[in-house]
Every structure is written in structure tokens, then in C-alpha cells.
């Protein structure tokens, strides 16, 4: 994939996305301090590259925008100066004696697909306190170099494989070496994610194989002296057979599920997941939980599963979440820009009240062929969701 993005619907769930909140209500929550180490112990700057041309959505998305979004595009809000960060040390880092290079006050508030739309759009996002961008190594427009140049911190999706190819065809050791190579090539990256929605690859869920791949990567990174956290893709119940034609289910409630089955199959995996953290994509409504995977309430369910399977709850990162303006009436949709902002506010209020949530990345900054998730129009005009997300980001110290 050129960009990390929501793909085709598989069964009842989407394949990848991020979202936002609305309103001016500041969150007054007691946040822990999360510390993210870099790959090399210091922040080595990447060489800047030429600014990619600003992108536009495909024609079908642009045309649909006039009919699926209500009202005129809003005027840009005044930009604000960045709030000073509060420094501290995480309990886990202190316990392990890890070298700390970057401090983040409160949970991370990030975005998918922040660069490639022009430097002015990137700076508006940065000045809106949304300072983290999620990037896939293979992206041609939303790149690490452009993100660093524009001032973003980077969550990098490494080792991502083709959506149509099952994990059974991948040699874990070779995949682990690929992850190490990609991390060595991107020393400024401060957080990494081991593939994107690997439970959906090839339409077949294979938790044991993903566990072997993940552990090979973690061990390779350790041997290379790279201490950047590598997030484990987590979901809940998964089907036997295929996602499109299940023959049965491995369910959390019955003592199975993705995390349990991966940990049971791979000795040493539990310790690695606890030390690094997990990535989830809980698209859906507040109050909803389908298969411990879909809906905001799936987060608490996943944490309970982690506590049971791992013996403790690792840091949870919501690396995709969003509501699309062209999915009116659906649980991952919004019928207007104001409703998108309101649903964002409600969902983020729940997530940020959870002490185990270490970061949330909205899917995504602009609209494209995956949906109208953007908090900006493709002309870089902020929508109400941008104001909401900016206020939330400032409230947690970004």
C-alpha cells in the first residue's frame, strides 16, 4: 500500500482507519507521562527531501464530497503556538533502565497521512498541536523524511505485507530482518508498528505465524541495539477458515482469540508484547463492542484479555480511528461535519479517560478513496473536527 489506509470491508469490519472529535470542551483528565525512546538513543535528523506535490483526492471522492457533506467548508481557525511539554519518566522505562530521549506529556494525539498535501497544510496541523504522523515505509507521499522535515514525530508501520497475501507464505526470520533494516534506515523514528492489520492478510487470520514474525523482529531489533518500541497488532475473536467464509470462531470468551492463540503458540512472545505495547483499530460507536475488535468498548475488553493472557496490561495505542462523512448512518460514519466532530469528542473522551491508552491517531487528515475521514477538506480548509482535535491535543500537553 502506498499509504496506511482503510481498505475493503472484510466481513463486518473495515481494514484500517482513523478519526476525530468535535467541540471546544477541554479534557481535564489526570494523565500519566509516556516516554518514547528513539532507535539510537538520540534524535538523528533525517536528510530532507524535495517537497512532494500537494495531493488531491480521486475524482470520485471530490465529486461525492459535495453531496455527502452538509454545508459550506469552514474558514480556517487561527493557528496557535505549541504548548510546552511536561517531562517525566515512564514506570516501565525506569524499571528497565532504558535510555530516554523523547518525552511526551499525556497520551499522544496523532494523525494518519499528514504530509503530502503541501507544506502549509502540514504546518497548520502542527500548529494545531497534532504533532505525530503515522507513516508506512512504502508510502510515496506520506513519507518519514517529509514528516521529519515538517516537524512531526513519526509512528512508522514497518514490515507491512500485501493485503492479499497470507502470512503463511512469510519466513519469520527474513521478515524480522526486514523490520530491522527498515528501522536502521529510519533512525529518527520514535515508535514503530509491526505491520498493519496483519490479522486480515490474505483473508486468513494466523495469530501463531504473526507471533513468530513479531518475536523474530523484536529479537533482531534488540540484537541491533535498536530500542524503539515495536507495537503488536491486536484484535479479538477471529474466524477459522477465512474472514469472508468462516467455518467457526476462536473467541476470547471461550479461552481463545487472537492474543491468546498467538501467546500459546510462541514461547517468549508474552514478555515481548508487554515490553513494547499493542496497536488496535477500534472503529465504531461509543458503547459498541463487536468481537472484541470493533467499537470503542472493544478497548476495555481487549485490556481485560491482555491482563488475563499476559498477566498485566501493556500500553495500548489506537493507531487508526475515525468517522467517515460518506458513511452516514453507519457506526463508522457521520452524517455531517458537525456530527463527525461530536462523535470524535465523545469517543476521545472515553479513550483518554483510560489510563492504558498511550496514543490515538485519527484516520485521517484528508479525504481519499478510502472515505471522507478528513478533518480538513482537500483544499486544506479545516472542518469542525480539526478544532476539536486541536483542543484535545493542547489539553494533553502537545
The full set of domain ranges for the chain reads 33-42+65-395
- Lowest mean pLDDT, pick from 45-54, 155-164, 359-368: 45-54
Query: Band of the pLDDT at 261, cuts 50, 70, 90?
Result: very high
Its sign, for the CA torsion 157, 86, 123, 346, is positive
Q: State the average pLDDT over residues 297-313.
A: 98
Query: Which whole-number Å values give the CA distances from 99 to 42, 102, 106, 332, in the listed order?
Result: 9, 10, 19, 39
Question: What angle do the packed helices 207-223 and 258-265 form, to 10 degrees?
Answer: 60
- Determine the pLDDT at residue 106: 73
pTM (two decimals): 0.79
33-42+65-395 belongs to which homologous superfamily? Glycosidases (3.20.20.80)
Query: Band of the pLDDT at 105, cuts 50, 70, 90?
Result: low
Find out whether 280 and 317 touch, Cβ atoms under 8 Å: yes
- In this predicted structure, the answer to whether residue 365 has a pLDDT above a threshold of 60 is yes
- Range of 28-42, 83-97, 261-275 with top mean pLDDT: 261-275
- In this predicted structure, the answer to whether residue 136 has a pLDDT above a threshold of 60 is yes
- In this predicted structure, the answer to whether residue 51 has a pLDDT above a threshold of 60 is no
- Lowest mean pLDDT, pick from 62-76, 215-229, 244-258: 62-76
Q: Which comes out higher in pLDDT, residue 33 or 117? A: 117
Amino acid at each position: 500500500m502506498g499509504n496506511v489506509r482503510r481498505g475493503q470491508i472484510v466481513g463486518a469490519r473495515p481494514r484500517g482507519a482513523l478519526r476525530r472529535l468535535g467541540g471546544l470542551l477541554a479534557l481535564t483528565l489526570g494523565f500519566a507521562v509516556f516516554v518514547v525512546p528513539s532507535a539510537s538513543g538520540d534524535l538523528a535528523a533525517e536528510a530532507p527531501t524535495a517537497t512532494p506535490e500537494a495531493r488531491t483526492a480521486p475524482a470520485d471522492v471530490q465529486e461525492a464530497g459535495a453531496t455527502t457533506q452538509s454545508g459550506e467548508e469552514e474558514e480556517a481557525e487561527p493557528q496557535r503556538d505549541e504548548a510546552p511539554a511536561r517531562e517525566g519518566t515512564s514506570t516501565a522505562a525506569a524499571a528497565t533502565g532504558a535510555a530516554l530521549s523523547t518525552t511526551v506529556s499525556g497520551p499522544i494525539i496523532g494523525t494518519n497521512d499528514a504530509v503530502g498535501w503541501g507544506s502549509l497544510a502540514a504546518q497548520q496541523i502542527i500548529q494545531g498541536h497534532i504533532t505525530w504522523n503515522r507513516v508506512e515505509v512504502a508510502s510515496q507521499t506520506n513519507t518519514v523524511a517529509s514528516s521529519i522535515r515538517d516537524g512531526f514525530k513519526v509512528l512508522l508501520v514497518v514490515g507491512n505485507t500485501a493485503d492479499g497475501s497470507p502470512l503463511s507464505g512469510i519466513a519469520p526470520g527474513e521478515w524480522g530482518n526486514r523490520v530491522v533494516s527498515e528501522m536502521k534506515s529510519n533512525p529518527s523514528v520514535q515508535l514503530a508498528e509491526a505491520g498493519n492489520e496483519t490479522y486480515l492478510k490474505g483473508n486468513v487470520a494466523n495469530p501463531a505465524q504473526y507471533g513468530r514474525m513479531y518475536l523474530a523482529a523484536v529479537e533482531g531489533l534488540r540484537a541491533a541495539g535498536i530500542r524503539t518500541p515495536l507495537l503488536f497488532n491486536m484484535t479479538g475473536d477471529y474466524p477459522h477458515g477465512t474472514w469472508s467464509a468462516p467455518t467457526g470462531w476462536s473467541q476470547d470468551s471461550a479461552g481463545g482469540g487472537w492474543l491468546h492463540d498467538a501467546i500459546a503458540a510462541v514461547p517468549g512472545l508474552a514478555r515481548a508484547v508487554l515490553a513494547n505495547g499493542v496497536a488496535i483499530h477500534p472503529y465504531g460507536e461509543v458503547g459498541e463492542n463487536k468481537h472484541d475488535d470493533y467499537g470503542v468498548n472493544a478497548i476495555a475488553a481487549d485490556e481485560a484479555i491482555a491482563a488475563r493472557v499476559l498477566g498485566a496490561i501493556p500500553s495500548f495505542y489506537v493507531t487508526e480511528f475515525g468517522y467517515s462523512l460518506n458513511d452516514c448512518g453507519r457506526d463508522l460514519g457521520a452524517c455531517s461535519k458537525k456530527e463527525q466532530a461530536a462523535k470524535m469528542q465523545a469517543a476521545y473522551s472515553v479513550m483518554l479517560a483510560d489510563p492504558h491508552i498511550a496514543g490515538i491517531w485519527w484516520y485521517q487528515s484528508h479525504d481519499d478513496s478510502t472515505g471522507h475521514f478528513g478533518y480538513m477538506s482537500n483544499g486544506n480548509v479545516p472542518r469542525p473536527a480539526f478544532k476539536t482535535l486541536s483542543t484535545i491535543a493542547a489539553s494533553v500537553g502537545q
